[in-house]
Homo-oligomer: A and B are copies of this chain.
């Protein structure tokens, strides 16, 4: 649905909103009209927050997590178990795992999955940084917590081979099946996720 009449500034906002994930053309139009109905200062506040957002957020130089302070709060926290590293695709996956309450280790954010057709190879992910981290004696276990999707499984397999080649004796695990195949960590409820963490299995038994 295109906005009515002569409204190019609203058209432009609706077009940008419609490019965001989960916002279809109808929702984008409804959001655009809602924004116009809000008090000016609320729209301007959102504009100003968005204006500074990209400048404030960086990736943690240790684990790749989105953060405003580098290293991130996880990497600096004295209460996290540094012997276990949970490797995830995106920072938002770490958020879901953290909310389940079943994981107290540290994270490593790959920044995606291997996807040769989209030009994403090992060099486009934080894999070199992961292998560097694993040279530390401190680390006893790595959970390969990529999504249970085709790309996530392929990325986990690829990492398993690389990590085995390091011959560090680090245990590898993957979350227990129970996550729906083709599902997404971000949309999994905390209880299911907690169970999947608690019943994770050594990788050779999968």
Residue numbers of A with Cβ under 8 A of B are: 1, 3-10, 12-13, 16-17, 20-23, 26-27, 29-31, 33-38, 40, 42-57, 65-69, 72-74, 90-92, 94-96, 98-99, 186-187
Contact = CB atoms under 8 A, between A and B. Distances in A.
A53 B43 contact: yes
Contact of A90 (B13, B33, B98): B33
A176 to B, nearest CB: 22
Contacts of A37: 90
Contacts of A47: 47-51, 53
Contact of A56 (B9, B50, B53, B56): B9
A22 B4 CA distance: 22
A75 B10 CA distance: 19
A36 B1 CA distance: 27
Contacts of A95: 1, 3-4, 29, 33
Nearest to A187: B26
Contacts of A38: 54
A26 to B, nearest CB: 7
A31 to B, nearest CB: 6
Contact of A67 (B5, B17, B46, B54): B5
Contacts of A46: 13, 16-17, 50
A168 to B, nearest CB: 28
Contacts of A72: 5-6
Contacts of A69: 6
Contact of A53 (B9, B49, B68, B99): B9
